[in-house]
Amino acid sequence: MKRFLAAFAFSVAVLGCAPEPTTPASTDLAGTWKANAHLYTLSNFRLEMVQEPNGIVSGFWYADGDGGGGGCLEGIPCKADGHLIGRNTVSQIEIELLGAGKFEGVLKQSDTMRGIFAVNTSYDTITFVRTSTTVSATRTTGGN
């Protein structure tokens, strides 16, 4: 019984030392991420991100638009793009693709983010794979 109580007390102490869910993660999301998905009116997603030490991520997103979303005129396909902003915390990753939708998920491996892409009240699953730890030259020019 004493061993059980000691183990229980140790478990409670360890759990009490865990970081808060909103604490910035020690992982770095900087680089180029791609998802070969077709969700809503967008496909072939690319994220170009940098990350600050406090877990804030920013950058640009790019996708092929079918028309009617992501800045494309209704019914007219285009190369969609925009800014992104978000947070990388110990509990989850939240990235808003301004003008397109929101990604909420987790870092499954150092090069794989998996979660949902939400547009208004609809959502679908998506997986992003890091293809480079650096941001491409197109980030500074805004090109796709």
Model pTM?
Answer: 0.78
Supply the range of the domain harboring residue 110.
21-141
Alpha-carbon gap, residue 133 to 50, rounded angstroms: 9
Whole-angstrom distance, CA of residue 137 vs CA of residue 68: 28
- C-alpha 110: how far from chain center: 13
Residue 51 domain-assigned? yes
In 3D space, the residue among 63, 24, 51 whose CA is nearest the CA of residue 133 turns out to be: 51
| Non-local CB neighbours of 93 within 8 Å, separated by 6+ positions | 29, 86, 87, 103, 104, 105, 106, 107, 113, 115
1 lies in a domain? no
Half-sphere exposure of 40 (CA within 13 A, CB side): 24
Residue 91 lies in a domain: yes
Q: For residues 123 and 49, give the distance between their C-alpha atoms in angstroms, rounded to a whole number.
A: 22
pLDDT of residue 142: 46
Residue 2 lies in a domain: no
CB neighbours of 8 closer than 8 A, spacing ≥ 6?
A: none
5: in domain: no
What confidence score (pLDDT) does residue 140 get?
A: 41
- Give per-10-residue mean pLDDT for the chain (144 aa): 62 57 80 93 94 92 88 89 93 92 93 94 94 70 47
CATH number of the domain encompassing residue 82 = 2.40.128
- The answer to whether position 14 is within a domain reads no
Residue 77 belongs to a domain: yes
User: Considering its fold, how many domains does the chain have in total?
Assistant: 1
- Per the domain annotation, does 11 fall within a domain? no
